[in-house]
Amino acid sequence: MADRGRPRMYDEPEAFSDKVEAYFDETEAKGKHATLAGLSYFMGFADKQSFVEYENYGADFSITVKRARLRMEADRHDRVISKDSFTPGLIFDLKNNHGWKDKTEQELTGADGGPVRIEKIERVVVDPTK
């Protein structure tokens, strides 16, 4: 049988969950904010994805990963609303680590609210040096 790769660092969901809680306890005691990168490093992983992959190792692991990520997201969300923090940095983290997205909605209508009509399309090539 072929080697299936490196064994998991955590086989027991309780040990995994305890280590996650230890990270949150430590960061809170130091007055810092938890991060996905910090948690992953604390857990002994070489990247964030290794922590996130534990979501696929059964319900007991999955709930720990989801709750840890939600706990960090809730912290960012509260801080964005309070305006006491560097908002662009928080928004960057929410987009890159917690699935948030910018969304723009546009509604196009023609004359008197009717459909948009395109009468002529002209293609123009512009020389950027001029």
pLDDT tens digit sequence for 5-14: 678 999 999 9
pTM: 0.67
Alpha-helical regions (H) of 30-118: 36-43, 48-52, 59-82, 87-97
The residue range of the domain holding 62 is: 13-97
Number of domains in the chain: 1
- 10-68 pLDDT, tens digit per residue, is 999 999 999 999 999 999 999 999 999 999 999 999 999 999 999 999 999 999 999 99
- In a domain, residue 108? The reply is no
The answer to whether residue 107 is domain-embedded is no
Residues 39/51, Cβ–Cβ less than 8 Å: yes
* Residue pLDDT, tens place only, 60-119: 999 999 999 999 999 988 888 776 766 788 888 888 887 888 787 777 777 787 787 777
Q: How many CA atoms lie within 13 A of 43 on its CB side?
A: 31
Distance, CA of 7 to CA of 119 (rounded, Å) = 63
How far apart are the C-alpha atoms of 115 and 100, rounded to whole Å?
32
